[in-house]
Structure 1
């Protein structure tokens, strides 16, 4: 060792020695930076990084070698052989590439030792082949022991460099590897220089064509600088590109709504801000933490990383925030992120973690809305079936009793129309509140739709006593008025009750039978409750069958319109007809209006039925030779329909009938369903030119005030008064008074139900304007009216009683 130091101090330019060492250190540092990129690459990318690292290391050592030779001052003339110089460079690069490749095959010590041996071979070959290019004017003698020492120093330094550098990921490991490799080569070179002894010999000729020291210095400096700068440039460009790409990816990832987390070997490698927010911790606290099983769990058990990353499988699980608190339901999509070019991506898995809290909340809301009424919050018709089945199972097992109570609000439509839909909604909400307040679990209430509710009573008390008590209490509760925006809203209800198991063993049967009992309660005058009885079944079934048949008959236009004539009382001339609907049933025969009109009103068929009659009557009237008037009755529901004027206008245009020929008859009771709306419709009808008559005058309670409110075109005296003329004095006085009232108000009066000559004579004597009844003619089909529509007058019926008929 003293010999090496002595040779270094006495025979070398120390400045160049330091420069050569710095060149070697810089090259080695650059080479290990490239080596770190090579360790993380595969395929062609791996080969490119390996070649560049080997060139930088080899050229750096080669430059250091010849700078050290330039620093050597033996006192004799020296030169260099070009062939040896470049042969040493190529040989060194090849062995160094083998060393780097061998070390990168794995992380074991054997790989690092094998790589170190090949690196040492490369350094040794580079040095001693380079020394063979060294020519001095003298004889060179070699000392074998010192040569062996130099080789050992190269092996030790090279092996230590690869072990200290490892994967060379950090700056510290890169500097340690570079320093160790530099020390190994410096030890090799100067030990090798100490192994030679030069004996001057003037006979040794140093050719002039050999490279001079100045040329050698320039060549070494140029080549080494270019290679080292190229290597550093490649590292910096690659690092900058990678950093820019990572920044762009992170920006995109942070902009994502879903959490994105990268895991490797089960631990968190990286994550975006959305995942950090879900996990409740910054990225630096999450990096390195285990994810699967620790923070993220799945309902179907913990999958392996391979299974998790396979395909684009969707899994639902729970994420436990680092800060604690409730677990977050999440949906996880996974994908294996292995580009095949870098070892670092091996087993790297990207998970997209979607927060399901909003979705679960929305799903719960949708499920709630699907099972509950949106207005009242009660269970709806859909969920009632399931809950009723569960209730039946309960009472079957426990021995409790069950009652089904169907509830229908009385006159709800009138209140809804009078005060508006918001008031109607308030009425329904208040009804639901009162129902819920009147029962206790396990009993429950539900809304079937509209103003229909149902209460399922479950109790251990005896039925029907318990059901009667509850039904009576509900009637009292629902009878109390409520208030909406300062207005009092009247409340009342009708109830139908069916009992399990007497009235049915299934939920459907109990509901049907409770509905039948409700119908009977409404028929009995409303505001009461009624228990189901077996005899109700057939009656209501027949009524419902008839309702279905009526609906189909209207659709198929099976109903017919008959016409009853109206005549002037003075001369008996027919001046018009009243349209009366008839239903020729296939099995029941001709069904009179008194039977199917109420059915149409209860089942909601009165509107299409009324439109059919109005349209047919106007069309038939257009076929008459004489322009006689046609009278059509309007139901209360038609009169209160805001579209009535538009419908009448449409029919008049379609049929071509003059508005002055159409006469619409209403009862005074129809006005009081919604007085203001009815008056508005009547005024709009009058504006069209249509005539309006008050039917059944005298049977209501506000006839005079009604006549004052609206200018009717005609008054019709109800036949209940006409048939008692000259029979009951009061009836005769009432008829005479009405006729006088009509004359005073200048409103024509029609007497209905005229059947005898005595009645006709009395009405003529009291100056009645028009008469209608069997004394003039019975209702008949349109094709039998030609006798009336073609002749000027009709003789009155002889003085005899005409048999009454429907």
Structure 2
């Protein structure tokens, strides 16, 4: 009753109301800024704690100052300006310290302890302000009320900050506001009730009451401005956070390069479309798209040109979209699409539009490229009832399209799963092929076209599968390359071939194919050197064959490795010349010791003038560069005669000798089927590429 009586009879009610509004608005803003600090880390947290401390301290101080001006002691009053400003600093610093301590979360009661520090700072601010209060009379203090005011501030401050940080209840932020306002108001008016003024004529020159009321309004205005500044900071941050969130959302769901939806968006859309199709009884097609010659653009024109090509294709694909269609970029040169349909013709129309778009030439500065693409299609619900199954089956169909040069689009068929499972099973068996001694080396003779003398042997790998028998190299070598098994198999081939050749009676050269994957070996040249030392084979007897695609993959690194290998005394042959990437630049970049003319030309050389002209051109090129040329795939006497007439250096093929295990060549020696010089020895594993398996 003493407190209520003090408020009712000793204060100006309008100024008390103004003080209450200042306290509520300032506390609301301060607690919101404090909660924002709780959501931040590092320097941002410190910045928000500072803003919250300024808002809280200034609003509490303004509330206190206005309420002091509302007090009517019936005697002249004045203020000490220095102590008044000190009380403001105490409020701001104390609130900052308490807020910072509350957000440390250590110890467990840190929020309450920090809140108690805020309450203590408010009490210290109040009584410092009271020391600045000058009245023409004597002030007497009731210590019980003083103690009660401090307890109210500390306890309610601890509860308010605890609610703001922990938020254990629904509406905790409103409860925190009520508790914080009660802490400020309860402290002030309980403390004012603790003071009693006995007027005395001391001669103090009091301030005009009208001036005091104007000061109260001015202080309230400043308090509202500070609160508004805090609100503005909060809104600016909220806007920035929203924009940042929207940017992050866009980046999270869209490809940064092309702007198309990414894999995440594709998965969300597919899940939604499957659910819709299940409800409506419609169908959903999933299309896997892989660009066919994108790597060539990257290799020949650089990554910037590749990026430009991707953006161009993405824009074209975007223009093709209609209602119920979705297109995304899900990888480097991989795209995916979704089509909702009920009529099969709608799907075929969509596929046709995509195919036309993907096969349009792309203009890159002064260069025009026609990449093309392979498209695989899987349909819900026939080909799968989950997005994982549909995407997997679309990929299977896409890989089938990529393997078939006669078509760009392939629809999923159930037998593809069987082929995929068989491929995986073969890969698992291949992993133990070396350990189980299932691999074997065969040798095919290479002879001089002019004299028929044996010049060397190409090492070819064979796999004796325990159930399937002889597995064609064209089947298991790609699997080995895809799964990284080619590194171990290739090392086995190279080591075994060198070991076997080192035991032969005649110092004949052996040719071992290298897979492009083997050039990923950390130190291929050192591995070859170690094998030569270990097996005792002279480096001059080893020839390594590579295809031009191996060089194209990483020209600088590959040529550096080839120079290291050549420095060992090992010779290098360019295999499959005349197909794929064959270019004069490759021959200019590296001094090859031999050119191997691809077998495809020999199969047509008897009937095709064009094939014969190409053979003649390659042989002339070899003569001009002083590089011997070996023709592969010689299967008839007429083919050999043509090579002899064109003055080819070397040849190999079934007409000259079939690939055989080393012991058969040694046993039969030189006969009608094989012109190999007899030798004895054991056969070693060699480093293998796709040609090694042929």
| TM-score (norm: length of structure 2) | 0.57
CA contact (8 A) 1:426 1:484 kept: yes
User: In 2, Cα distance between the equivalents of 1:312 and 1:703?
Assistant: 73
Alignment partner of 1:390: what SS?
helix
Give how far 1:456 is off. Answer: 0.9
Cα gap change, 1:702/1:382 in structure 2, threshold over 3 Å: closer, same or farther? closer
Alignment partner of 1:533: what SS?
coil
Partner of residue 313 from structure 1, selected from 165, 173, 178: 165
User: In 1, Cα distance between the equivalents of 2:592 and 2:615?
Assistant: 18
- Answering whether residue 438 of structure 2 is matched by residue 564 of structure 1, we say no
User: In 2, Cα distance between the equivalents of 1:673 and 1:560?
Assistant: 28
Which residue is equivalent to 1:343?
Answer: 187
Which residue is equivalent to 2:261?
Answer: 379
Alignment partner of 2:330: what SS?
strand
CA contact (8 A) 2:529 2:568 kept: no
Following superposition of structure 1 onto structure 2, how do residues 668-707 of structure 1 map, counting pairs within 5 Å?
686=566, 689-696=569-576
Give how far 1:634 is off. Answer: 3.5
Give how far 1:631 is off. Answer: 1.6
Alignment partner of 1:496: what SS?
strand
- Answering whether residue 354 of structure 2 is matched by residue 474 of structure 1, we say yes
Cα gap change, 1:631/1:592 in structure 2, threshold over 3 Å: closer, same or farther? same
Give how far 1:487 is off. Answer: 3.5
User: In 2, Cα distance between the equivalents of 1:110 and 1:693?
Assistant: 104
Partner of residue 87 from structure 2, selected from 220, 230, 242: 242
Cα gap change, 1:419/1:577 in structure 2, threshold over 3 Å: closer, same or farther? same
Q: Which moved more, 1:469-478 or 1:607-616?
A: 607-616
Which residue is equivalent to 1:44?
Answer: none
User: In 1, Cα distance between the equivalents of 2:250 and 2:296?
Assistant: 31
Give how far 1:617 is off. Answer: 0.7
CA contact (8 A) 1:610 1:634 kept: no
In structure 1, stretches of 5+ residues that fail to align are 1-103, 114-166, 180-231, 264-268, 271-303, 318-328, 789-793
Cα gap change, 1:336/1:403 in structure 2, threshold over 3 Å: closer, same or farther? same
Q: Which has the larger radius of gyration?
A: 1
Which residue is equivalent to 2:293?
Answer: 411
Give how far 1:679 is off. Answer: 7.0
Following superposition of structure 1 onto structure 2, how do residues 486-635 of structure 1 map, counting pairs within 5 Å?
486-525=366-405, 528-547=408-427, 550=430, 552=431, 560=439, 562-564=441-443, 566=445, 569=448, 576-599=456-479, 604-605=482-483, 609=486, 612-614=489-491, 616-618=493-495, 620-621=497-498, 624-625=502-503, 629-635=509-515
CA contact (8 A) 2:656 2:673 kept: no
Count, aligned residues: 523
CA contact (8 A) 2:376 2:395 kept: yes
Q: Which moved more, 1:608-617 or 1:508-517?
A: 608-617
Give how far 1:619 is off. Answer: 6.2
Give how far 1:471 is off. Answer: 0.7
Give how far 1:419 is off. Answer: 1.8
User: In 2, Cα distance between the equivalents of 1:735 and 1:316?
Assistant: 85
Give how far 1:554 is off. Answer: 8.1
Partner of residue 432 from structure 1, selected from 274, 289, 314: 314
- Answering whether residue 680 of structure 2 is matched by residue 798 of structure 1, we say no
User: In 1, Cα distance between the equivalents of 2:243 and 2:349?
Assistant: 40
Cα gap change, 1:333/1:519 in structure 2, threshold over 3 Å: closer, same or farther? farther
CA contact (8 A) 2:444 2:660 kept: no
CA contact (8 A) 2:285 2:340 kept: yes
- Answering whether residue 5 of structure 2 is matched by residue 108 of structure 1, we say yes
For residues 345-381 of structure 1, the C-alpha deviation after alignment (integer angstroms, 9 at most, x for no partner) is: 989xxx9997554445444444443433333333333
Which residue is equivalent to 2:525?
Answer: 649
CA contact (8 A) 1:483 1:489 kept: yes
Following superposition of structure 1 onto structure 2, how do residues 18-57 of structure 1 map, counting pairs within 5 Å?
none
Give how far 1:477 is off. Answer: 1.4
Give how far 1:389 is off. Answer: 2.0
Cα gap change, 1:554/1:379 in structure 2, threshold over 3 Å: closer, same or farther? farther
Give how far 1:467 is off. Answer: 0.8
For residues 96-118 of structure 1, the C-alpha deviation after alignment (integer angstroms, 9 at most, x for no partner) is: xxxxxxxx9534289999xxxxx
Give how far 1:674 is off. Answer: 8.6
Cα gap change, 1:311/1:572 in structure 2, threshold over 3 Å: closer, same or farther? same
User: In 2, Cα distance between the equivalents of 1:416 and 1:595?
Assistant: 28
User: In 2, Cα distance between the equivalents of 1:172 and 1:726?
Assistant: 116
Alignment partner of 2:371: what SS?
coil
CA contact (8 A) 2:509 2:541 kept: yes
For residues 664-711 of structure 1, the C-alpha deviation after alignment (integer angstroms, 9 at most, x for no partner) is: 224568778898997787667545643122445677896899768764
Give how far 1:472 is off. Answer: 0.6
Alignment partner of 1:433: what SS?
helix
User: In 1, Cα distance between the equivalents of 2:629 and 2:371?
Assistant: 40
Cα gap change, 1:590/1:105 in structure 2, threshold over 3 Å: closer, same or farther? same
User: In 2, Cα distance between the equivalents of 1:489 and 1:418?
Assistant: 11
Give how far 1:473 is off. Answer: 0.9
